[in-house]
Each structure stands twice: as C-alpha cells, then as structure tokens.
Amino acid sequence: MTKTEINMFQMVLKNRETQWGNGNWNREALAIDTGTDDLDRIEHASIRDSVIGGLERNSGWLREVRSARHRLASREFGICVACDEDISPQRLTAVPWAARCMGCQEALERETTETESGLSLLAA
Ligand SMILES: [Zn+2]
C-alpha cells in the first residue's frame, strides 16, 4: 500500500470516527415530538426508531473504525486478520474498516448468528 493510499484511508477513517463518535449526529430527530398531528407523530416515531437503530449500529461500526485506525498505525491495515492475505483494494474502498478479506468475512458470517448486525450488510 502506498503512502498516498495510507493517508487517504487515514483521512476516511478519521472522518468516520468523528462523524460516528461525536454522538450528536441527527440528534434533532431524537428530540421529543411536540406535534399535534397524528400523522406527524407516527412519522416522527418511525424516524426516531430508525435513528436509534442507527445509533446502535454505529457503536459497532465505531469499534471497527477505531480498530482499523489502529491497524493502519501498526501497518497491519489491509491485511486480513484471519488469513494474513491482502484484502482487495475494491473491498477496502467500499469498507475501509474491513478487518477480513471477502472469503474470511463470508466464512465468519456463515458461522455467526450476527448476520443481521448491519455490519455484514455493509460489507456485502
Ligand atoms: Zn482472509
């Protein structure tokens, strides 16, 4: 991996960490609904649910992002943690915090019951 690529991933991951780590993204959608219209309330409730769902997923992604930044610093970035093979550039571009190559990720997802975690959806 070239220095330019490393710098690029460093920037991407840092932005992600800032975005997901500050805890106040989309906070207005979590604000208590003061609308009087029933339709408004229903709509707000569903937005709130999806935002809360997003926050839960984010805490998982944030862990992945931080771990990827750690690997970047220790020059292990882009190498599959399971089989030590290079992770394909296409996969890293799509999922910069990927810790596993496609094959190992798929194997992991077959074994795990957490296929609905959202991470797997993102990595697919
Ligand atoms: Zn692998």
pLDDT at 22: 72
pLDDT at 119: 53
Contact of 85 with 101, CB cutoff 8 Å: yes
CA dihedral 69, 21, 58, 43 (to 10 degrees): -150
pLDDT at 24: 53
Residue 83 CB: number of other CB atoms within 10 A? 13
Q: What spacing in Å lies between the alpha carbon of 81 and ligand 1's midpoint?
A: 7
Q: What spacing in Å lies between the alpha carbon of 38 and ligand 1's midpoint?
A: 51
pLDDT at 16: 87
pLDDT at 20: 77
Tell me which residues of the chain have a pLDDT lower than 50: 115, 124
Q: What spacing in Å lies between the alpha carbon of 72 and ligand 1's midpoint?
A: 17
Q: How many domains does the chain have?
A: 1
**CATH number of domain containing 24:** 1.20.120.910
Instruction: Provide the residue range defining the domain that includes 43.
Output: 3-123
